[in-house]
Amino acid sequence: MLLMNGVLQLAVYPLLNARMGQEELGSVLYIMGLVSILCPSVGQALNTSRLVVRRTCSVTNGDYDRLLLLFAGVGGVAAILGSGSSVRGGLTMALTLLLVLMTAFRYYGDVEYRLNLDYRKYFIYYALISIGYLAGYGLFRLTGNWFLIFLLGEGAALIYVGITGSVFRRFWKKSAYFGTAAVRGFFLTLSYLITNTTLNMDRLALKHMVGNEAVTWYYVVSLIGKTMVLLVAPINTIVISYLTRRERTLNKKEFTLAAGAGFLVAAVFFLCCQIGTPLFIRIFYPDLYDAVSTLVTVVNLTQVLALYSAFLFILVLTFTGEPWQLILQTSHLVIMAVLSVFINKSKMGKAMRACSEDQGAAQLMGINVNSTISMTFAIGSALAAIAGVLLCSTYPTLQPTTGSMPGIKAFTAAVFGGIGSIPGAFLGGILLGIIESMAQAYISTQLSNAILFAVLIVVLLVKPSGLLGKMVQEKV
């Protein structure tokens, strides 16, 4: 897979940029962004789901082949219609749908080699895609149709798996477990869809908000980071293949050690990105260097965090079922987004901020301070209830003191990130979770909480307002 993406990013896209220009390349990248969101979400989700479901259910090829055709077909049509004028013309729409279907089948097709742990054929599978892309570029030079680049690459892989494997044989044969496969595959597909949409949303948003040229700029600066993210895919393949063959799931200690190791790998990748991205831009896109150099650090940090979250996602699958992956993936993002909009845009949210600043002045301006405070406590209690449900659903042991330590850690996260800043509390929670996991893995499980609070004290000594908080000077 690394070879395939190396061919795309180091050969195909730079050559297309030289041949087509930044504006037309931006249009190509937009369509490929749709493909990159939909196809891995469907193909990899069903691929992974089959590896997990086979432990308890005797599913057949036909169960997942049907689901693959259904999910990819419906998703492809929805993506084309939802893109509006960005995908225009009957031929372009037809070729886009064909590319979506073939790419989704290709992402799923490597389950043939994952099921049997045949990594030699797994490598050949992706090597053929790379060769197909290069051959397709030659056809593009002759015909001017860039779709041929990707269709030839995906077709080469599908022909290979058709010859050497059996995953697409008995395409329409359905087992008694089709319903189970459909439900679990659906939830996992939605979870992957959230992750891939987040990873590729830059192209879609920039296309509609700025234009094709901006899509090219941001894509170039994020190339190295996204390549590093893709390095985790073979690691995930090996991890989940062996996890599904284990007779028992990971315990808490094993999970923590694996998460800590993944964090160290992500840190190394970040340093590599910081060095490699400027060099890559200077070599392959020198005309864009001045325009994009200021974005390098922020973009690389985003990509490496995505790398780490993808690795953790595979580990979490060993603890809970697929539906809870969707809930846990979306709930915190939805809550944060809704709360941020409410606090910053609604009348009650502005009243809350006014009361926190100066209750006396807020009352003089006509704000009902008591009602506002009551509403604040009500919202806080509701959020605590949601957090309790998610916590007890993941670790289903309920005691009178279950919420005491999580409550203390939640307050610590808010202080760590900056009191009064919702994004700060969100960031503080993530960082404290990582610090606690690292402390448990490499220092001591008994001292992890003490280390957590010690880090908080150090941060407050250095930056009393928290990571995202702001110092406010009051005149006396």
Q: Which tokens belong to 124?
A: 């050949």
Beta carbons of 253 and 276 less than 8 angstroms apart: no
SS3 of 137-200: HHHHHHHCCCHHHHHHHHHHHHHHHHHHCCCCCCCCCCCCCHHHHHHHHHHHHHHHHHHHHHHH
- Record the pTM: 0.56
pLDDT value at position 153? 92
* Residue whose structure tokens are 């050969």: 11
**pLDDT number for residue 263:** 80
Below-70 pLDDT ranges, the chain: 1-2, 115, 198-199, 209-210, 226-252, 298, 302-303, 305-329, 331-332, 377-378, 381, 385, 388-404, 441-442, 444-446, 469-476
Strands (E) located in 240-294: none
Q: What is the dihedral angle through the alpha carbons of 227, 229, 234, 239, rounded to the nearest 10 degrees?
A: 170
- CA–CA distance, 400 with 230 (Å, rounded to integer): 44
The Cα–Cα gap between 311 and 191 comes to 14
Contacts (Cβ under 8 Å, ≥6 apart) of 297: 274
Report d(CA 40, CA 469) in Å as an integer: 38
Element (H, E) at 470: none
- The pLDDT value given to residue 159: 92
Q: How far is Cα 81 from Cα 292, in angstroms, rounded to an integer?
A: 32
Residue-level length of the chain: 476
pLDDT of residue 41: 86
pLDDT digits (tens, 9 = 90+) for 62-86: 888 888 899 899 988 988 887 777 7
The sign one gets for the Cα dihedral 393, 397, 401, 404 is: negative
Distance from first CA to last CA of the chain, Å, rounded?
Answer: 63
